[in-house]
Amino acid sequence: MCFVGATLVGLAAACGGSAETHNAPLRVWALVDPQNEPVVRQGIEEFNKHSKVQAEFSAFLNDWYSMKLRTAIGALNTPDVFFNWGGGGLAQFVEEGLVADLTPALEKNPDIANAFMPSVLEVAQVDGRQYGLPMNGIQPVVLFYNKAVFNKAGLQPPKTYDDLLTLVDEFKERGIVPIALPGTQTWTMLMWLEYLLDRIGGPEKFAAIADGKEGAWADPAMRRALELCQDLVRRGAFGDDFASVNYDAAGAPRMLAKGEAAMFLMGSWEYSSQLSFNPDFVARGDLGWTTFPTVEGGTGDPRTLAATPSTQPLPRRPL
């Protein structure tokens, strides 16, 4: 629960001011999350007990969060602390001079940085400088599945890509969407591309893209991964209208819980989401998960997990 509080302390130090310079409240933005939101609110309450400037928390649905944040930044109405996934999105904010460099503040308060694993802190680093602090750490992406749907069909979770294709055909014949995919949000589709790239060519292929190396996107492993993604779409793996499916409670998670879809590739936070929105589904023991399938002939380690980070960066403006 100290993540938000520590971040707010870092804001005051990083911007070279103190919480006493004006009385406007600090605005904290994050995603709607029934499991983590109470922890965030508790952290803010603890901060407010010790600060003359009070923090105000707002949570937004996933589908609209990025657009609302970009609009606020463009209108120079940026929240003081906001949720971000790190990586390229954070790097863009840094390049545009929109977020504060927390490095000096962390150097003065080493206990804050020492509370996190170095690999987790790196998610919010750009060119060796720290622009955010971990909020939920790094959460692995796994293949969730509806055990009841599988048991009724007499089928097992896939271990290989060929197994996955067989399951796609089997579930389509039964009138079940093989894989729920919230196609209204591109990040959910990129999970498939990232995993297939890893299984085909290993982690160095993705690392080359992340590092912006010339020709990385044209690598044969990437072309093959894109071909497999197209193959899944053509086979109807994601249903006919996945482009209109969202990730919020009434979308892909509900499809999995209600047995309308058999599988769902998502971060480990899906468990807490299902626990909140579909508790009976979890209580029955019907929510299962497994690792992403291997691809025949691929060089990737089947034990490798893709993961999604989350951080709290800070806008670059004085208090």
Tally of residues, the chain: 319
- Would you place residue 313 in the very low, low, confident or very high pLDDT band (cuts 50, 70, 90)? low
Q: For 83-106, what is the mean pLDDT? A: 84
Q: Hey, what amino acid is at 278?
A: N
Using DSSP, how many helices (H) and how many strands (E) does the chain show?
Answer: 15, 10
Q: For 92-120, what is the mean pLDDT? A: 86
Each residue of 97-106: pLDDT tens digit?
Answer: 888 899 999 9
Helices marked H in 59-121: 62-74, 87-95, 103-108, 110-114, 118-121
* 282: helix, strand or coil: helix
Each residue of 225-271: pLDDT tens digit?
Answer: 999 999 999 999 999 999 999 887 679 999 999 999 999 999 988 99
Give me the pLDDT at residue 134, please.
Answer: 80
Give me the pLDDT at residue 310, please.
Answer: 56
Go through the domains of the chain in sequence order and give each one's CATH number: 2-135 (3.40.190.10), 139-308 (3.40.190.10)
* 57: helix, strand or coil: strand
- φ, ψ at 20 (rounded to 5°): -95, 0
Between 10-14, 236-240, 292-296, the lowest mean confidence (pLDDT) is in 10-14
Report whether 200 contacts 221 (CB < 8 A): yes
Neighbours of 136 (CB within 10 A): 23
Query: Rounded distance, CA 281 to CA 283, Å?
Result: 6
Residues 6+ apart with CB under 8 A from 31: 59, 60, 61, 62, 65, 83
